[in-house]
Amino acid sequence: MDDALSHLNKRFDHAALKPEVTEKQIVTLCKEARQYDLFAVAVNPVWVSLARNELAGTGIRVVSVAGFPLGASRSEIKVAEAVRAVGDGAQEIDMVANIGWIISGQFDRAKDEISTVRKNLPYNVLLKVIIESGLLTKGQQLECLKIVIDGGAQFVKTSTGFFGGATVDQVARLVKASKGGVEVKASGGIRSLRQCRELLDAGATRLGSSSSAAIMNEYLSRRE
């Protein structure tokens, strides 16, 4: 198997973020994460405590979200959501930037919101900022990258998955322009080993997917 897929399991944030997800499905999500020793699970705030308990002692991280999926919550609500999720056991926060501000050119306002969320989180909690790349022009994507870096986040994330998924072009553009200033998480519509290889080749360092277990099955079967 090629180098791009080396330690593939440790690239995955195994996600269950749809509104209809149940408690039983979160338990299954965590079981799959343990089975394949994935990097993290990504869950909505209401499920953070359950995921923390299910994964206790495994080293698998819990990711939660703020302002998800629209990004249109008030800034103080995003802060409160992120802070509470960390209190419940989340070790990483994926916040959605205010896409309306970005599309209308209010980049400083969007940056200040990112910075405010970052300042309210413990230093050892990673902050990823979802910019919904599929709704933006190439220029807007690059402006977003700048405000994510200037706002102090550690990752830029392509998409929520609700409005289109990650593309190789998006990832490659963000990786090249970031010059190492942040890492890139590709997310949305990742359902195959081929997509994983292409996105990792493009420079993504983390993959968000609800299909992580199926992809790992495909990966392991090809190694046999």
The Cα–Cα gap between 45 and 170 comes to: 28
Torsions phi, psi for 13 (to 5 deg): -95, 105
Tokens 């206790």: give the residue. Answer: 56
Q: Are 170 and 158 in contact (CB under 8 A)?
A: yes
* Residues that are catalytic: 94, 157, 185
Spell out the residues 6+ positions from residue 39 whose beta carbon is closer than 8 angstroms to its own: 9, 10, 11, 12, 13, 60, 61, 206
Spell out the residues 6+ positions from residue 115 whose beta carbon is closer than 8 angstroms to its own: 150, 151, 152
Tell me the Ramachandran region of residue 60: left when phi exceeds 0, alpha when psi lies from -120 to 50, beta otherwise.
Answer: beta
